[in-house]
Structure 1
């Protein structure tokens, strides 16, 4: 029996013919259809016309904000590197990693004081440094620019004034800042007084420039003899005292001190109190150390003063810290040092032992030695 491998039934032959016909039709058909692979050009004329119309119309706040967010914020501009934002750095092409490092450095307290600091910042590439350099304005530069843009202030109006009763408004008129003027008037209100023109320099916050500018206008009405006197310290006149009065500096009472020219009730009390705290004056010169006593007054009375033996000494080997600290020549820290050394090394034998206290100033040692007893 012969095998007919290529024999097709009638139905199969019809199917094959239909399939071939369909393939031919699909192959030929595109040639008869219009080519739509290329679209007709879009006419933008109406859009351009509308844009030109709106170009002359006012921009709304919302549109302006959008424009700033999308464009203006990312345009390169000068900025302080220590106040830089992410957008400031992005506008200059700084990478995201470098931006994170920069902002983290600032948040942790770092600061760029000059271009040299930026060059040392390793997170930046050489290309990024070159892009940044023209746009960085450091603190002193931005401050100068701000001062140039700031509205001009009124010129100071200088005038003669008494620093002990000057008002806050007067100080500000003379160019002193509100804060410094407040410190000044608060000092006066609390009972503080300036006894010499130069003492205004002690006002907290007063710059050297302002001090030098104000100094020529400071006028203290008090005279040399009563500049430091309190209200009850009225010096006796030269006509009602005797120039032959001689005062024993360690024995005279407050009333006897008042017999000297220029010494009133307040100064006499201060001299006696200072003498009692010392334990007595070792020399006439020590009288001049009395608080507030003008040197001019001391020079006039010094020839009428006579020394005498010291009245009282400090027992350095038994005195407590508190007792030593009451002496005018010793601070509390000095007294504590003296007692601590005594407790650790034993009693002091002589004044030479004070030289072992390296923390005690040499001037203090010399002044306190005559007042010490080593019993």
Structure 2
């Protein structure tokens, strides 16, 4: 058989082969075209999703900053009425923008602060913020309940309704004696309200009396700017309650704010092994007593 005869195809065979070649080309072109269309279609969609995601993130970032980002304004404490104070004053008092927004929303809905303690219910207000602002809250008479005014117009009887009076604050250069003042006197000090007045009295009782005004800074969140209005007299220093370290038990010793359990146990062990303590110098021999701790204890120790 010759080569020509080997590669000879009939007319019907040639048509079938041609049809197969055309079909293969068409299928190949269709596959390439559909793949290119998918790639080009997916790219704009992906870019659009990315842009949308960035826009949402940017929107959330702006919202978070406007509502939750702490302000860097210097705090300036002044008397204010939460019912009428403008946003600028509220921000200057140390409130965050989102807290001011919450307060304004409360007022716009008809909410009223009728007494200083009502301000503590402001959404998001921390205990530290309330303690700091409470002495500066001033509620105008216009916001008292109407029933109070009607009651005042009725004929007076033998039983008078109690009236709430806010103490007059001390002027610069005036003082209260720290160890003899009661809570009423203490609340006359600028920056001191009912809470800190109680804290001062409670800490004074635990110490046995203050030996210096700097000890007030040991009270949590105490307003340091108020220290200049306090004084400790020589008579008060002489009346400080002292601890006899040779007679008190471990439990009695550790009740003092300056003596912890380990210090009290060290004193009791020293007495058991060496007898009574005679001076503060002997406390230096005990590992739990540093120079600073002995200095703080000096006004409160006797032998």
Larger Rg: 1
- Report the TM-score when normalising by structure 1: 0.38
- Report the TM-score when normalising by structure 2: 0.46
Compare relative contact order (CA 8 Å, sep 6+) and give the higher one, 1 or 2.
Answer: 2
